[in-house]
Amino acid sequence: MFQDTTKEKSNYPLLYSVDHPSQLRELKLEELQQVARELREFLIEVTSQTGGHLAPGLGTVELTIALHYVFNTPDDRLVWDIGHQAYPHKILTGRRDQMHSIRQYKGISGFLKRSESEFDTFGAGHANTSISAALGMAVASGLQGKDNEVVAIIGDGALTGGMAFEALNNAGDLDANLLVILNDNEMSISPNVGAISNYLARILSGHAYTTVREGSKTVLGTLPLSVKNLARCWEEHMKGMVMPSTLFEELGFYYIGPIDGHDLNTVVATLRNMKDMKGPRFLHVVTQKGKGFEPAEGDPCVFHGVTPFNPDTGKLETKKKGRSYTNVFSDWLCDMAERDHQLIGITPAMREGSGLVKFSQQYPERYFDVGIAEQHALTFAAGLACDGLKPVVAIYSTFLQRAYDQLVHDISIQGLDVLLAIDRAGLVGADGATHAGVYDYSFLRCVPDIVLMAPADEAECRNMLFTGYQYVGPAAVRYPRGNGPGVEENSEMTLLPIGTADLWRSTGCETNRIAILAFGTMVHPCHEIAEEIDASMVNMRFVKPLDESLILELSDNHDLIVTVEENVLMGGAGSGVNECLHKYGRTVDILNLGVPDQHLDHGSQGQQLADCGLDKQGIKEQIMGRLSALVDNTVRLLPVSASNS
């Protein structure tokens, strides 16, 4: 995407002098403040046009500058947790002029991506991966005789996930040469994170103190155990008065902080000192999410991931929209909770995204946000179900992947009554491959006794949630990001018969008859296609159990069965139909349409569907192409006399 940078160069002169971190390292320390101001303003300007993750990046401007200023990147490794906080990192590492294409079709990714830049050392769309990945890199460096530094930057929210603590425990035990930075942006800059604390951090990370500290270990080694323990307790007590170090010290890390993450001089000085240390080190940095942009400071949740907005007022662009599936779930959950006091709502840190805000306000005693801990969310739900409660876990499709073991072992094997409300299923647009919810049909189908449903519209979504809630055992309803086709829900909920599809259209054609079996989001476009080509069309409703009797009936009186799903083809709903036909010995021609065997780049949902051949035009062309080939093949197989007649 071409962008005229003349204006930007005049508005951001120092920022536009930095095309590589090596140029940043040539600047004087006092010039970094201007870089920070320009970087923050540039980030606001860009995201106001493109949308994206704004508040997290605003909070890491100074930290990012300091990291690239102190460390010799990319030889020294920076491993960011997720990519929300790494927009400033992208800007400083050669992608400034591409930022206007971020999250756009064929543009740069909104997350870190190894194939995009050598500075993106590890790509991830899920939280609490950075410490594990960085530890692997640190160990690899040691085994290969390298002397480069490895730094993991993790947000405080990610520390709610067990994987982060597993990595911390392992790193301390290995005595790895690793620096972990906790970007703490949930607490305010409290009094102890000021001049005294910053001064103390510099002292504790300085050469003189560390020399004395290491020397004291030798001296203490010659003293009686009781005196040695007393000395160590005194050190921990003195540090504990001003810093929460004990936990990380016990894990084997040398802890420094908390420091003000927006004080560039302090951050640079502390990083320089800690760079000279070896072994596991832990730096606690306190930042403010949305720093420097008043609307984002006031509402960092809204400005975490935003649509385009007015950079002067912070007012978001509003478009007239229909009703989203997330809102359908939100209303259903509250309605169901009013009927059944046993209902419990659970989310792994996605209250707003999964539509639990209203429920958390109306039923706070029955609402549980367990943090970024998907595995715990499902086993916690299993425990609730063991004692007679009715848990509903609201979770994104891509995050459910992290809790697959818990679904199988803790819920399915025990036959526990848990409902999964799976949001963001299918293609998700600008978030791209890391958040694509295109695998859940495949990995849920093989779980015994689960009921898996996919609604065609808003009204059906409400009824499926009700049906899944009433089912005794594990059930799942998967619905897409965004809005439905506009089918109004009824206040009363209808129980759907398990495993029964809905025949929307029966063909009137006597030859070359086509039957389209559509799942979820593909139902309405397939219905339009069926009208145009005079085909039978079924809203399958259930991915498991399938309506086998209807599938067999259609196979007996149609020449071509077409399955259409917004899921990967391998192991998906179409595979289930194939298995059914094979089981009963049917040999009808089959065309399976779905997401191909590849990771899809970001773009709009419409563009992604078109790339997969799952937009209306693509589906129709593939059906007609297969029908044409089927007819040609039939003609070739006819006797010569018949074909000449």
Domain positions in the chain = 57-85+103-292, 325-478, 502-637
pLDDT along the chain (645 residues), means of 10: 55 93 95 95 90 86 96 96 87 92 86 90 86 95 93 86 90 91 66 51 58 51 59 55 65 88 94 93 89 80 80 75 88 97 94 93 95 93 97 96 96 97 92 87 96 97 98 97 92 96 83 88 96 95 98 94 97 97 95 94 89 95 89 53 33
**Cβ–Cβ < 8 Å for 523, 564:** no
Fold of 325-478: Rossmann fold (3.40.50)
Cα angle 373, 378, 380 (rounded to 5 degrees) comes to 85
From residue 408, alpha-carbon distances to 312, 439, 537, 542 in Å are 50, 16, 33, 20
- 232 an active-site residue? no
Q: What is the pLDDT of residue 192?
A: 45
- Catalytic residue among 96, 113, 402, 424, which? 402
Query: Which residues have a Cβ under 8 Å from the Cβ of 111 and sit 6 or more positions away?
Result: 82, 83, 86, 123, 124, 125, 431, 432, 434
**Cβ–Cβ < 8 Å for 261, 285:** yes
- 374 an active-site residue? yes
The span from the CA of 531 to the CA of 301, in Å, is: 44
- 315 an active-site residue? no
List strands edge to edge, sheet with 178-184: 77-80, 150-155, 178-184, 280-286, 254-260
Cα angle 44, 50, 53 (rounded to 5 degrees) comes to 60
The span from the CA of 280 to the CA of 223, in Å, is: 26
What's the 3-state SS for 452-476? EECCCCHHHHHHHHHHHHHCCCCEE
Spatial CA neighbour of 113 closest among 105, 124, 127: 124
Name the residue type at position 144.
Answer: Q
- Catalytic residue among 77, 95, 96, 289, which? 289
The 3-state DSSP class for residue 285 equals strand
User: Which neighbouring-strand residues pair with 153?
Assistant: 80, 181
Q: Select from 2.60.40.650, 3.40.50.920, 3.40.50.2300, 1.10.357.10 the CATH code of 502-637.
A: 3.40.50.920
Q: Do domains 325-478 and 502-637 have the same CATH topology?
A: yes
Q: What is the pLDDT of residue 102?
A: 85
Fold of 57-85+103-292: Rossmann fold (3.40.50)
